[in-house]
Amino acid sequence: MNCSECTAQITEYLDGELPVLKETLIRNHLLSCPNCQGWADELQKLSFQIKQAMNSIPVPDDLEERILTSIRKEHRVAHKQARWTGLALIVLGVPILSLFSPFLLSVLRLFYKTTSVLMHTWLTFITLVVPPVIGLGITLAVVFLAVLGVYFLRALFKGFQFEEVLS
């Protein structure tokens, strides 16, 4: 190992962050090179002085409480900004959506017609093909799946916190 490789990794060596092989190479180089050994000694002294200086600075007793209070205050401000942003989006979104209202109405109408046709087809299939008891079971299963779908949609809108959805 040469001096430039040693000095490039000397801080990691002093902090004990190097693999054993590199640590051994640097230790051997420091034993044979007085310049690098002097550099390592200076860095160790500086590190010790910094630690001493940091330990001599008194930490206020209420520091933790002040930090937590600041975090809570920032959280309240962010929550308030989110509410105002949501309100602004609604206020600005209503006029924009009203521009597209004929399109939205036609989509809703198409959805209603499609649902109506599917429901009539389903009821016809149930009454003609399936015996009444099985038809009732299938219909109840479909209703159950529809209700479950509503709960999953609520979970989606609440951020997948399923415990809150069922409450």
Give the pLDDT of residue 132: 65
Please name the amino acid found at residue 37: Q
131: left (phi over 0), alpha (psi -120 to 50) or beta: beta
Record the pTM.
Answer: 0.37
Q: What is the mean pLDDT of the segment spanning 25-50?
A: 91
Token reading at 61:
């007793």
Per-domain residue ranges of the chain: 3-56, 63-99
Token reading at 134:
């099985």
Residue-by-residue DSSP string for 143-166? HHHHHHHHHHHHHHHTTS-HHHH-
pLDDT in tens, 113-143: 888 888 888 777 767 776 666 667 777 787 7
